[in-house]
Structure 1
Amino acid sequence: VGLLLLSLILVITAIYLAGNVGTFGERMEDAGIMSDDSTDDNWKLGGLIYYNKADSAVFAQKRIGAGVTINLATAAGKLIVLALLLLILLPLILLI
């Protein structure tokens, strides 16, 4: 029952985000969620990490290819990365 409920919550969240964000994120920049300010000074570790304190947007356009990346200078960006790390590491911790 718990796994079914979690799956249902994830599907509903994905549908909601798809509706608000749009197919390729075209609605994100208008809402101030995403930015395309991607100067070289804001990219760390060879372009793998985006860190820009002056940019309040949580997501930024990737420099090469399609998609977005998380701005780790924002509190929301740090929370997203922390949640993803916990999601990955929690099963490993529980095995110990």
Structure 2
Amino acid sequence: MSDVAAMRTFNRELASVVGSSIEVAIKDGKKYSGILKGIDQNTLSIVLTEVVDLSDGAHIPKIFIYGDNIVSFSVAEKEVSIEGLAKELEKTFPPGGV
């Protein structure tokens, strides 16, 4: 894979998690959870809403974290498989029942 293709893939993956619930660890040891509202792809700075400071439980409406301060972030919610959901619903509801 070329460097350009790898960068496109990386940026596509970053963009795909916007709107997801994430957990962020920053350099000072603090951790936050919240909804990822945006990412600056140049600096990797992020905007979170509905934020909870995981060290003390404080609620913060919105926080901006500069990319240089981020150690890591992870998606806190699992992706839903539409096909898997359809199969589970078919077990419960007869065909044409919904």
> TM-score, structure 1 length as denominator?
0.31
> TM-score, structure 2 length as denominator?
0.31
Q: Which has the higher contact order (CA 8 A, sep 6+)?
A: 2
Structure (1 or 2) with the greater helix fraction: 1
Bigger Rg over Cα: 2
Structure (1 or 2) with the greater strand fraction: 2
